[in-house]
């Protein structure tokens, strides 16, 4: 019993210490929001197509490093799309959720959340942000009418240093 208490105290102290060193989430994750000028049904179809297009390892090989691959759809119901993304080099797995909400007749708000399955993940070089952004870019949302993004280092681990051409 003493070992469990000591371990919990240690983890609490480590977490508190890390919060002073790392701005934003203590656990590697990203919460972001995008708006796209199209109906959510179109957004859903395009996202599902992009996840399928990047489900295999084929894109992992283009360029020196490319993580636009190894996406796996886990569920799609009621405007909530859940998937995983595996990094091709270290094989870390992140859980990703997109929640689609109509905004009027011709816009869709995409609430995204990506988090590392590895419990000890702290810094991720923006990988959790890129897990989502790459899919949106691949589906051509980033150049669509009405596109906007709300993401920051406060809600996304290392967002400003993210290099989504790599991660």
- Residue 23's pLDDT is 59
In order of 12, 41, 119, 128, 156, the CA distances from 49 in angstroms are 42, 12, 30, 20, 25
The structural domains of the chain, with segments of one domain joined by +, span 23-161
Q: What percentage of the chain has pLDDT greater than the value 90?
A: 69
- Residue 166's pLDDT is 81
- Residues 71 and 135 sit within 8 Å (Cβ to Cβ): yes
- Residue 145's pLDDT is 95
Q: What percentage of the chain has pLDDT greater than the value 70?
A: 84
pLDDT in tens, 45-78: 999 999 999 999 988 876 667 889 999 999 999 9
pLDDT of residue 10 exceeding 50, the answer is no
Query: Looking at residues 70-89, what average pLDDT do you find?
Result: 96
Q: Average pLDDT of the chain?
A: 87
pLDDT in tens, 93-134: 999 999 999 998 899 999 999 999 998 899 899 999 999 999
**CATH no. for 23-161:** 3.30.310.220
Whose tokens are 């490093």? That residue is 65
Query: Looking at residues 132-153, what average pLDDT do you find?
Result: 97
pLDDT of residue 12 exceeding 80, the answer is no
- Residue 18's pLDDT is 45
């Amino acid at each position: 019993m003493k070992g469990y208490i000591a371990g919990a105290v240690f983890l609490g102290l480590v977490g508190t210490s890390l919060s002073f060193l790392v701005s934003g989430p203590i656990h590697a994750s990203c919460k972001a929001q995008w708006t796209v000028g199209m109906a959510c049904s179109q957004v859903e179809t395009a996202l599902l197509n992009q996840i399928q297009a990047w489900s295999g390892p084929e894109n992992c090989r283009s360029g020196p490093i490319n993580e636009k691959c190894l996406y796996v759809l886990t569920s799609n119901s009621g405007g909530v799309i859940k998937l995983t993304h595996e990094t091709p080099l270290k094989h870390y797995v992140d859980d990703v959720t997109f929640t689609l909400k109509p905004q009027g007749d011709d816009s869709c708000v995409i609430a995204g959340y990506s988090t590392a399955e590895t419990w000890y993940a702290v810094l991720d070089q923006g990988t959790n942000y890129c897990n989502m952004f790459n899919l949106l870019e691949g589906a051509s949302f980033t150049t669509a009418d009405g596109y906007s993004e709300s993401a920051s280092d406060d809600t996304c681990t290392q967002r400003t240093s993210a290099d989504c051409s790599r991660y």
